[in-house]
Structure 1
Amino acid sequence: MANNSTMSYTYDDYVEYLCPDTFNFETVSGAFFILIFIFSIIGNALLVCVLVLYENLKNVTNIFILNLACSDLIFTVTLPFWAIYHLHHWIFGDFSCKFLTGAYYVGLYSSVILLTAMTVDRFITVVLHNWPSNPVRRHSGAVVACTAAWVISIAACVRDAVKVKVEVDWNNYSTCEQFDDPDANLGYHLQVSLLFFLPLAIIVFCYSAIFRTVQQASNRRRHRTVVMVLCIVTAFFICWGPYNVILLIRSFYEPIGCNAHEHFHIAYSICRILAFSHCCMNPLLYMLSQNARANLLQLLPCNKARRNNRENGHSQSSVVVPNTTFTAQNSAVLLELPS
């Protein structure tokens, strides 16, 4: 009877039921989710403002980065709900459970598809530079790629949103989880393979060719955009790679003993925090560009006030100098009158 009731719990409850002294990492996770939410909202909102107000949105790379920022914002708005879930329990109902799970996966899937499209665009520009193309066609292709990324992400998230549901245990503890189902696990593994490991393989292939081309090029300064895109892509896979790997391990590995449960749960929680922190990375990496930093300074109120004061000072100086000249000329005329 105890075993049957234990199997109905979530993974975390299973650990705590067997090992009451196990360190509870949920409070730490909830606190980190709140911090990530604050930094990501500020950073991505500033990035969107800089791109819309000061950058050229006919530039293909800027189009992709704007869509990445929107993707990160969609992912970010779900974090306070997951934070409350880890700090307390699920209190938002079944519809919110499905909707927020869908938003979570839309943000995740759209990010990886947009990064893949951005890498392919760099591949075409650098490696296939002799391939006939014009700016209008490239811009249209980028818009189509971004639209396709959102459509595919929304379509892929429907399955995840439908599978999750709210369950209440005997202790009145509500959970928003996808419970064990062999068919669902198989579908999840196929989806992870298609939307994470397949894009990773494409990106590795593209950047291998890009690096060979850049090394042979005489002028490497024009490939500065390649470095920025590489940093953004690398940050994504560094953050999300360990989490996806541990999810696959979790599907077929069953820890034995309290210490094994505790160590695996802590490793899983740390990888999850690292993955969620990725939504803060893109604004920081975009600010590596000197032009982007200059545009950000223009957006800040203190810089606007300083610029207005400087302009007012210049205008006053330009007014004072003619007046002084005019006064000096009048004085010269008055001095000459007596003679």
Structure 2
Amino acid sequence: MGESVSNYSDYHYDYDQFNITLDYSQFVHLCENTQVNLFGAMFTPVLFSLAFIFSLIGNALVLWVLVRYERLRTVTDIFILNLVTSDVLFTFSLPFWAVDHTNGWIFGKAMCKIMSSIFFIGYYSGIMLLMLMTIDRYFAVVHSLFAVRFRKVSYAVTASLVIWGISISATIPEMIFSDITGNEEERLYCTSNYPPESTQMWQLLGCYQQNILFFFIPFVVIVFCYWRILNT
């Protein structure tokens, strides 16, 4: 037995002797998408920079009009103020992600967690506030008599606080698990670094959260409300 094992490495195969031809053309080659990745690396920072500039100018103008002329007297004013705040939060993080796409993350671990949190809070709250404003329009048009008693400034403030609470709660995993990771090029990136034993669970949670809570439900609500508004 021991002799058989020791002589195992002595065996060799002569492919020419048996006229065996190896055809490598059938092997599957993975597509690396090098050109697409290079285009994305150049285009994304430009897109983020343009979004930052136009969003900052537009939201600053809206905020000035609200404070200078509207005085935040109506439910709509309260909602627009919250939406502007959400947009500014989202916009504020874009230059950091533009740098991340070009030079990697150079701002440290603390800023990685802060910017990830700001990005997702602005992203989630913006979607939910648009849904809330659509519901408000629905009641104002379709159920106008009920809306006269229901649409108060205190209601708008309370509803906005609930939206901010939901958005911040949904961002807690990003606050906890956002971290700096490296790759083969020795670049550092700010990504979600979940524990190995629960990576799949957190990824599934994030997927369902974004697709159901922050896309499907707002989409259905907005479509229903505007359908009823158009009918009315």
Answer whether TM exceeds 0.5 for this pair.
yes
Cα distance, 1:206–1:151 mapped onto 2, change above 3 Å? same
Give the TM-score of the pair, scaled to structure 1.
Answer: 0.55
Q: Which residue of 1 aligns with 2:60?
A: 45
Q: Which residue of 1 aligns with 2:44?
A: 29
What is the CA-CA distance between 1:78 and the residue it aligns to?
Answer: 0.4
What is the CA-CA distance between 1:76 and the residue it aligns to?
Answer: 0.6
Q: Which residue of 1 aligns with 2:167?
A: 153
Q: Which residue of 1 aligns with 2:215?
A: 196
What is the CA-CA distance between 1:154 and the residue it aligns to?
Answer: 1.1
What is the CA-CA distance between 1:88 and the residue it aligns to?
Answer: 1.0
Q: Secondary structure at the match of 2:73?
A: coil
Matches within 5 A, 1:7-156: 18=32, 20=34, 22-24=36-38, 25-131=40-146, 133-134=148-149, 138-156=152-170
Q: Once the two structures are superposed, what CA deviation does each residue of 1:3-37 show, in whole Å capped at 9, x if it has no partner? A: xxxxxxxxxxxx99x45555502121112211211
Task: State the AA in 1 paired with 2:182.
Answer: V
Cα distance, 1:132–1:183 mapped onto 2, change above 3 Å? closer
Task: State the AA in 1 paired with 2:229.
Answer: I
Q: Secondary structure at the match of 1:134?
A: helix
Q: Which residue of 1 aligns with 2:179?
A: 165
Kindly indicate whether residue 191 of structure 2 is the aligned counterpart of residue 177 of structure 1.
yes
Q: Which residue of 2 aligns with 1:210?
A: 229
What is the CA-CA distance between 1:49 and the residue it aligns to?
Answer: 0.7
What is the CA-CA distance between 1:169 and the residue it aligns to?
Answer: 2.8
What is the CA-CA distance between 1:184 and the residue it aligns to?
Answer: 1.4
* In 2: Cα distance, 1:141 partner to 1:128 partner: 16
Paired residues of 2:52 and 2:92 also in contact (CA < 8 A) = yes
Q: Using the aligned pairs only, state the percent identity.
A: 39
Cα distance, 1:115–1:132 mapped onto 2, change above 3 Å? closer
Cα distance, 1:42–1:163 mapped onto 2, change above 3 Å? same
Task: State the AA in 2 paired with 1:74.
Answer: L
Task: State the AA in 1 paired with 2:113.
Answer: K
Q: Secondary structure at the match of 2:190?
A: strand
Q: Secondary structure at the match of 1:130?
A: helix
What is the CA-CA distance between 1:161 and the residue it aligns to?
Answer: 2.4
* In 2: Cα distance, 1:46 partner to 1:140 partner: 25
Q: Once the two structures are superposed, what CA deviation does each residue of 1:106-149 show, in whole Å capped at 9, x if it has no partner? A: 101111111111111111111112326437x5221111111111
Matches within 5 A, 1:199-238: 199-213=218-232
Q: Secondary structure at the match of 1:167?
A: strand
* RMSD (CA atoms): 2.1
Q: Structure 1, unaligned stretches of length 5 or more? A: 1-14, 214-339
Runs (4+) of structure 1 exceeding 6 A deviation are: none
Q: Secondary structure at the match of 1:92?
A: coil
Cα distance, 1:108–1:132 mapped onto 2, change above 3 Å? closer
